[in-house]
Structure 1
Amino acid sequence: DLFLFHYSFDHPHILAGQGSLGLEVLDQVPDVDAILVPTGGGGLLAGIAVAVKSLNPRVQIISVESERASGFYASTKAGHPVFTECQSTLADGLAVPLIGANAYATAAPLVDKVVCVSEEYIAIAILRLVEMEKAVVEGAGATGLAAVLQGLLPELKGKKVVIPLCGGNIDTTVLGRVLERGLVADKRLLKVWLTVSDRPGSLAQMCKLFSTAGASVKDIYHERAWLKSDMFSVQIQVVLEVRDSEHAAELTRIISETYEHVQFYNENAQ
């Protein structure tokens, strides 16, 4: 018996089949201005680019990758496929170290722009899709929305853009962690350490302050043994749920004005 092996990422027949997604887009959204395509091995990008550009050359085809797995971006800079070391990323479905030769040769002349998104905005994109679309999408499938949320494509404002949500293969335990990371990145979780007097009523007074400001206490932890201040003080670590970045800024101001010894979590210092 004879068997025919088709390389699942780079065989011309596979690329052609993936181009059917582009045909569906043109059929359902004939006046589309741009399509944001998640890119790993490049097969989906190549197929969509050929199908769409052959029927409507004015449609922009934009490749989207993770900053931690940017093989197509590196290859376009070099002018040929190059090996790119991939780091751990939420978009693990796109973590392909070497783009396919056929995919690159097909897609490179047709792609209008290549952008790379941060892990922070991939997490926010997954969160947005769960909250607003009630859709569970893996990191690779959320990169297109992440590019928009990160502000990498300002030229598309006011235009009709299609973002394929290609992939829902995300582990439930990972999803929970990603959603929390998304809330932190979206400035909707605020972490603060503050030192208060270790006497009856201090904790109630602190919680009343948070409640009055419209924040909910998600987590709280007391530290007495490793505190270097006086014996009658306690350090409290609190995680607060807030509405948005403006609410977080307002709460930060209120806490800073109320307590002398305060430290807020700074993601940029990590």
Structure 2
Amino acid sequence: MLELDDVHEAVTPVSEVARRTPLAHSYTFSAMTGADVHLKFENTQRTGSFKVRGAANRVQRLDEAEREAGVVTASAGNHAQGVALAATRAGVDAVIVMPETAPISKVKATQSYGAEVVLHGVDYDEAQARAHEIEAEEERTYVHAFDDETVMAGQGTIGIEIMEDLPATDTVVVPVGGGGLIGGVATAVTAIAPDVRVVGVQAAGASSVADSLQKGHITEAAQVDTIADGIAVRGVGERTFPVVRERVDEVVTVTDAEIANALVLLLERGKTLVEGAGAVSLAALLADAFEYDDDETVVPILSGGNVDLTLLATVIRRGLVDQGRYVKLRTVLKDRPGALDDLLDILTDERANISAIQHDRTNRDVALNAAEVELELETRGEEHVEGLLARLREAGYEVELLV
């Protein structure tokens, strides 16, 4: 099983490609949770994710024959970029198989680091199957995204950095996909400071590690469904699972709504761009997914920042909806001059900012002398929305809240 010495041995090869990332206290999230929150900004890592650490450690350890044959891997995006950069730095040819659903931003970034990209399958597991075919056909070395002790050791260097920068740490909160990151981090942290708690966090729609721990053996999900594409894997690794089972205190799950809320708060309050997978650690803290004491020193790892801009726009809008800061509603007006003005006067008086209005006289469910109106409004929170709806209903409007 992976040991602390393996992680220490990874420090030098990792440092040749990756950078030491900041660990900083967050006044905002400390005030919101009551804990002493320090964020590990791995989203500022080269390639935008922690994955470059494990990739660098694995590629640096190839022998001459393996270097000549090249490497191949499968990834939804972050590991792809890590392997591409590490291989290019080492002068090794790399082929990366990515799911056809991979964000275009991650595909282009991987290509920009010098790798050949092959798009195949609907998810990571189908991409991985194709990568293994290429491995056999071209005799390349397969660089696993997580189920490899050398890769885990590289990821574990984050744990060493945390304990060096903040020895008073009580709890480290780690995003979990296949278990490579948490396996490495837990190995380092628990060996350096056995009393420190390690909590893993999965998306509820990709909870294979949590499910496997509950059942006592590795289980694989039939499918995954989450906005956190970086941790959307069907199953935990055979090498990572024993490490997680032995060294991780707890693995919890968070919903996509909770992930979106954390991502929006990190953007707005923390001035930090994090992808869904990178936000799950803070999401668990904000959602009280695990117990912690007041003033407990908690370190959520923000594991990556490679978010697709199209998804980001959707997540921001969803986060605003969940916070009561964006609503879409429908009502029916009498089709007469001034009817819309009367409605808008109420919205103005209630200080709701109108983003869009759609006015429809053709809906067959509406009387001939009436018009359906849909409005998109920027609001200030749930209490503001409730007050606004109450005011409209008092004025005689039948209002349907759409989002």
TM-score > 0.5 by shorter chain: yes
1:1-270 correspondence runs (5 A): 2-3=65-66, 5-265=142-402
SS at structure 1 position matched to 2:252: strand
Does structure 1 conserve the Cα–Cα contact (< 8 Å) formed by 2:352 and 2:377? Answer: yes
Decide whether the 8 Å contact of 1:46 with 1:107 is kept in 2: yes
Unaligned runs of 5+ in 1: none
Shift of 1:153: 2.5
Q: Give distance in 2, aligned partners of 1:79 and 1:30.
A: 32
CA distance in 1, matches of 2:293, 2:382: 25
Contact 1:68/1:87 (<8 A) preserved: yes
Deviations 1:94-149 (A, max 9, x none): 01112111111112111111111101111111111111122111110011111122
Cα contact 1:65–1:117 (8 A) shared by 2: yes
Shift of 1:158: 3.3
C-alpha displacement of 1:21:
0.5
Deviation string 1:184-212 (CA, Å, 9 cap, x unpaired) is: 12221122111122222221221121111
Give the whole-Å Cα distance in 1 for the aligned partners of 2:329 and 2:181.
44
For 1:205 and 1:223, locate their aligned partners in 2 and report how far apart those are by CA, in whole Å.
17
C-alpha separation between the residues in 2 aligned to 1:72 and 1:206? Answer: 51
Could you tell me which amino acid in structure 1 is paired with residue 319 of structure 2? G
- Maintained 8 Å contact 1:89/1:95: yes
Give the deviation of 1:6 after TM superposition: 4.3
Counterparts in 2 of 1:29 and 1:259: CA distance versus 1, 3 Å: farther
1:12–1:78 CA distance, 2 compared to 1 (3 A): same
- Can you give the 5+ residue segments of structure 2 that lack an aligned partner in the other structure? 1-63, 67-140
Q: Identity of counterpart residues, as a percentage?
A: 34
Cα distance between partner residues in 2 of 1:85 and 1:152? 25
| Secondary structure of the structure 2 residue equivalent to 1:261 | coil
Q: Which structure has the highest helix share of the two?
A: 2
Contact 1:187-1:245 within 8 A present in 2 as well: yes
**Contact residue 366 and residue 372 of structure 2 kept, 8 A:** no
Q: Deviations over 1:145-172 (max 9, x none)?
A: 1112223124344322111111111111
TM-score (norm 2): 0.63
Structure 1 residue matching 2:206: 3-state secondary structure: coil
Q: Deviations over 1:60-116 (max 9, x none)?
A: 111100010001011101212221233231111101112111111112111111111
Aligned residues: 266
Normalised by the size of structure 1, how large is the TM-score? 0.93
Counterpart Cα distance in 2 of 1:166 and 1:27: 18
Q: 2:269 corresponds to which letter in structure 1? A: M
The AA in structure 1 aligned to 2:150 is H
SS of corresponding position for 1:99: coil
Query: 3-state DSSP class of the match of 1:164?
Result: strand
CA contact (8 A) 1:141 1:164 kept: yes
Amino acid at match of 1:45: I
Distance 1:122 1:42 in 2: 19
2:208/2:235 contact within 8 Å kept: yes
Q: Residues of 2 paired with 1:71 and 1:224: CA distance?
A: 50
Q: Which moved more, 1:109-118 or 1:77-86?
A: 77-86
